[in-house]
Amino acid sequence: MYSSNQGYPRMGQDREWKRTLEQFWKKEMSEEEFSARMKKLKSIHVKKQADAGIHIVPAGDFTYYDQMLDTAFMFNLIPERHKSDHPLSLGSYFSMARGSDDAHACAMKKWFDTNYHYVVPEWEEDYEPRLNFNKPLEDYLEAKEAAECKPVIIGPYTFIILSKGCHSLKEAADKLLPLYIQCFRELKEHGAELVQVDEPAFVYEGLEEDLHVIFSIYEAFAEAVPDLKLLIQTYFEAPEAYEKLTALPVSGWGLDFTKGNTIELLKTHGFPKDKILAAGIVDGRNIWRTNGAAALDLLYFLIHEVQPADLHIQPSCSLIHVPETAEGEDGLPEGLLENLAFAQEKLEEVVTLVNAENADAREKILQWSTSSQPEAGPSSKSLRRAQSFSERTRLQQRVFRLPELPLTTIGSLPQTKEVRRNRKSFKDGTITKDQYERFIQEETKRWINIQEELGMDVLVHGEFERNDMVEYFGENLDGFAFTRKGWVQSYGSRGVKPPVIYDDVQWRGPITRDLTLYAQSLTEKPVKGMLTGPVTILNWSFAREDRFSESIAWSIAQALRKEVHALEEAGIRMIQIDEPAFREGLPLKASKQESYSRWAVNAFRASHYDVKAETQIHTHMCYSEFSEMLPVISEMDADVLSIEASKGGGELIRTFKDFQYDKSIGLGVYDIHSPRIPSVKEMEAVIRHCLEVLPAERFWINPDCGLKTRSEAEAVKSMENMAKAARIVRESLKQTV
Ligand SMILES: [Zn+2]
């Protein structure tokens, strides 16, 4: 039996990786120094895994930004607008990820059902990919001195399925095949024996139709590089068409035993003889200790299915979805730390499991947490608002008297150095609570004025008091705990530190009321109350595993409902309940999606359904594949939905042709992840494009998402251009009437 791993967190224990990237972007570091530092970090990651006792360490999972972007770059899938003189320039690479002055960034989407965002590769018309360089090989050569390594690469099927602009799987596969083969050959020549080929898209229903192409791909590989062992790695669910798929001519399979019915599949159909099984027993997506007794049972079963020499024990997926180590987390509620397992602790678990023949190891395993049976979730009640959307809008419009195409923003405003410095000083105790609160008020006031001057119709207070939209509510509700360094990569250099929901969630008293009221006292225009929704709080936390998700979502919704009422009673008339992570918990298999959608919609509605008809409820969503979810989103019944739309190249806009969304909606008119300032003309065009499919009476104008990551100058300038574009379109609407 071997211990193995699929991928290691990139951030660095003290977020060194993030800092290196950001310094380089700010031009505070030369390209040579940047490469040298990254190389160093990469080798530290390899060493940490080897030191933990992992036999087979992945090479090629490390990246400057994202693994899909790496793969696209390697195959020279660089859109024309990002090309520079040198095909391998870091300029092109980061311009694809983040956009540049004259080229918008590639789209970014969530990686399966996680909160990790990947860069979507683009196939341009008649594109001929070629191999720019061999990334897994380079990383392999660097790592192999320090550890026994397995190069990892994203498999062709998954790469193509997740790309955009390629019309035929077969055609794209034909173009990529020789490049993969060359990669594999070079790896073999340099001593690699086993390669992990990630094919998570094999878990999607509908795979059956593509099986013939998949077979032709892997048959070609088997023929071209017969002595190289390819291990197909799937995760987040059981693979589809298991029986047929496992007949592929490859050397082994990596399967996720923590999700879906993987065990049943093996029990029913067996596992192909003489193949390697890389068994994901330790859950790579949560932060809890493995249930030791259950893991041992599974291990005994697997030992009878597979020759020990062919059995690899590993986490269920790459560990980029969890923080690096729980060591040093000494500020947690009592008893919690013993139950936590971050990446390093998970690797220790893997190693201990491999040693399970040893009685001491078994003893240790049995002491890992054992969770009790999940309790029953809430029964679904009637959670509808008393009036229909059209009645509500009529009443609301009487109160608000908004102009056509109302202008607003999504909530957060620039978290400048000053904001962060003050927060830190408050935490460190170098300024008092009073001083801190005064600073937040000043900043809020300054921005209320800016928004008024820019002509926004619905204002926001700016969220300066929040470090993070989930953390902030977690800190102010009971039942949440916080780690010191539990960072997880979200996209690029951005990390999040998910709270841990370890106990019942309870409302302690008003959280957002006072600051919202303060902001409202400064202006005649409506200020939106700003809350993070129950489904998002759940999906962006590490929640207990011994309770049904729906039951946790429900209890968060109950707490938020009290906050909604506190705002309403204080006179706040618009409340936005953000649900950017609404889609993340959606099961990957279509057949399991309905029940999730039902309880998620219920939890959202439960957070506000009994407000007055005049109270306008907004929600916001971003950076997920929402097109197919629109009917469900509509069921959420928010009066106004703002949704990110500019990254996907107008894809979402097109879906509104077929789906009649019948409530108010603002499709984001510009991408806030890019430092690039969109021109008035550009935004005007986007708005007009939206108005081809959505009626002006129900259309709002807003950016894609909150502006916290932008500088003040960038935010002001883009809002100004957005407002100008809105005025131009409003004028022309008047003329056409
Ligand atoms: Zn957003």
487 vs 369: which has the higher pLDDT: 487
pLDDT at 374 over 60: no
Q: What is the pLDDT of residue 735?
A: 83
Same domain, 100 and 211: yes
Q: Assign 626 a pLDDT band (cuts: 50, 70, 90).
A: confident
Angle at 15 between CA 11 and CA 19, to 5 degrees: 105
Same domain, 361 and 450: no
Condensed to tens digits (0 to 9), the pLDDT of residues 580-616 reads 999 999 999 988 898 899 899 999 999 999 999 999 9
Binding residues for 5-methyltetrahydropteroyltri-L-glutamate: 18, 115, 540
Q: What is the pLDDT of residue 379?
A: 43
Binding residues for Zn(2+): 620, 622, 644, 705
Average pLDDT over residues 74-82: 94
Share of the chain above pLDDT 70, in %: 97
- Choose the weakest-confidence range: 126-130, 553-557, 568-572: 126-130
Is residue 75 a contact partner of residue 129, using CB atoms and an 8 Å limit? Answer: yes
Same domain, 320 and 404: no
**64, part of any domain:** yes
| Sign (positive or negative) of CA dihedral 677, 678, 680, 681 | positive
CA of 182 to the centre of ligand 1 (A): 41
**535, part of any domain:** yes
Q: What is the pLDDT of residue 40?
A: 97
Q: What is the pLDDT of residue 84?
A: 86
**122, part of any domain:** yes
**212, part of any domain:** yes
Catalytic residue among 565, 608, 673, 689: 673
Same domain, 249 and 185: yes
Condensed to tens digits (0 to 9), the pLDDT of residues 247-302 reads 999 999 999 999 999 999 999 999 999 999 999 999 999 999 999 988 998 999 99
Q: Token digits for 531?
A: 């809350």
Question: Hey, is 280 helix, strand or coil?
Answer: strand
Same domain, 227 and 99: yes
CA of 624 to the centre of ligand 1 (A): 10
pLDDT at 737 over 80: no
Same domain, 454 and 354: no
Question: What does DSSP say about strands 57-59 and 108-110: parallel, antiparallel, or unpaired?
Answer: unpaired
Average pLDDT over residues 377-403: 84
Angle at 58 between CA 54 and CA 59, to 5 degrees: 135
User: Taking the CB of residue 241, how many other CB atoms lie within 10 A of it?
Assistant: 16
Which H or E run includes 477? strand 477-481
CATH number at residue 616: 3.20.20.210
pLDDT at 334 over 90: no
> Structurally, how many domains does the chain consist of?
2
Condensed to tens digits (0 to 9), the pLDDT of residues 197-254 reads 999 999 999 899 999 999 999 999 999 999 999 999 999 999 999 999 999 999 999 9
CA of 316 to the centre of ligand 1 (A): 29
CA of 665 to the centre of ligand 1 (A): 14
Residue 673 designated active-site: yes
What rounded mean pLDDT belongs to the chain? 93
CA of 141 to the centre of ligand 1 (A): 40
Chain CA centroid to CA 489, Å: 8
Length of the chain in terms of residues written: 737
Same domain, 163 and 28: yes
pLDDT at 309 over 80: yes
Same domain, 151 and 60: yes
Host domain of residue 638: 399-415+446-464+508-736
Binding residues for L-homocysteine: 410-412, 578
**385, part of any domain:** no
**23, part of any domain:** yes
CA of 622 to the centre of ligand 1 (A): 5
399 vs 383: which has the higher pLDDT: 399
Same domain, 354 and 409: no
Q: What is the pLDDT of residue 127?
A: 85
Condensed to tens digits (0 to 9), the pLDDT of residues 632-651 reads 999 999 999 999 987 666 77
ipTM exceeds 0.90: yes
Binding residues: 18, 115, 410-412, 463, 540, 578, 620, 622, 644, 705
pLDDT at 381 over 70: no
Q: What is the pLDDT of residue 378?
A: 43
Same domain, 458 and 314: no
**497, part of any domain:** no
CA distances from 592 to 518, 538, 596 (A): 45, 19, 7
d(CA 660, CA 634): 10
Q: What is the pLDDT of residue 161?
A: 96
Where does residue 314 rank: exposed (0-12), middle (13-18), buried (19+ CB within 10 A)?
buried
Average pLDDT over residues 466-472: 94
Same domain, 277 and 410: no
Q: Assign 369 a pLDDT band (cuts: 50, 70, 90).
A: low
Same domain, 595 and 647: yes
